[in-house]
Amino acid sequence: MESSGNLVTRIPSPVRYLLFTSVLAGLQERASVADRSGIDSIRNPCPLISDWSRLEVGNTSVSQPTVRGPWVGATAILLVLLVGTGMFYYQYYTLPAQIGPPHVPQNITIDIVAEQWAFMVNGTINTQTTPIVVHVGDNVTFHVHGVWQQDASFSQHGFFIQGLMDVPVTVAKGNDITVNIVPTQPGEYTIICTIYCGVGHPNMHGLLEVLP
């Protein structure tokens, strides 16, 4: 069974601060009431009613008296406890159930054809419209093969993943290169061709999406 000390430390800091201030306010109010009790008992037959001047005698209606005492502090403490319990339950039970178990890093191999003018997974899936999806910590190996169908006067592509590679690599016509990465941060990373390869070169890019 988890100790009460551990349960307190697992309550978010803002909630602990509100609890502390609410308890302190309640104690101060009770001390103030105790200090005034001698005088109030003489001047005021009911310590819970602070504004007897608004009470009217006779057939006229009686206005609501002002109630004071430790009830405000107690209400605040109860409200904070309810909010804190809800936040604790959401953070440690509801949210983990929605997210599911943590991802276990995998060894992933992706075959890419660098053609004019696109990076195609397995030669069929365009990474411009269908991102490559991996997870943080995955050991990802790209096998990149260079081909030219449109303009044979060019014979090289560049392969570079912005934010994940330090320098681009060159993919010559008919050759294969291997690139290995291990993403450490989630996000979207652009794959670009860094060597001019014809009129469609500016549009030769793809997308790698890294999930947590």
pLDDT in tens, 63-122: 555 555 566 667 778 788 778 777 766 666 666 666 667 889 999 999 999 999 999 999
Distances (CA, A) of 128 to 65, 94, 132, 165: 71, 36, 9, 19
Identity of residue 146: G
Query: 128: pLDDT confidence band, cut at 50, 70 and 90?
Result: very high
Residue-level pLDDT at 85? 74
pTM for the full model?
0.55
pLDDT tens column, 171-189? 998 999 999 999 999 999 9
pLDDT at 21 over 90: no
- Mark 121-158 as b/e (b = at least 16 C-beta within 10 Å): beeebebbeebbebbebbebebebbbebeeeeebebbb
Q: Would strands 187-192 and 156-161 be described as parallel, antiparallel, or unpaired? A: antiparallel
pLDDT averaged over the chain? 77
